[in-house]
Amino acid sequence: MTTHFITAEIDLKESQPLQQEIEAQLSQHGNPLRWAVTKVDKENEKVTVEAIVTQSDKAAK
- Do 54 and 30 form a contact (C-beta atoms < 8 A)? yes
Question: In the predicted model, what is the mean pLDDT of residues 37-59?
Answer: 91
Q: What length is written for the chain?
A: 61
Q: Count of CB atoms within 10 A of residue 31's CB? A: 14
Question: In the predicted model, what is the mean pLDDT of residues 13-19?
Answer: 82
Question: In the predicted model, what is the mean pLDDT of residues 41-54?
Answer: 95
What pTM value is reported for the model? 0.81
Domain ranges, residue 20:
2-60
Q: Residue 60: pLDDT above 70? A: no
Question: In the predicted model, what is the mean pLDDT of residues 19-33?
Answer: 93
The number of domains in the chain is: 1
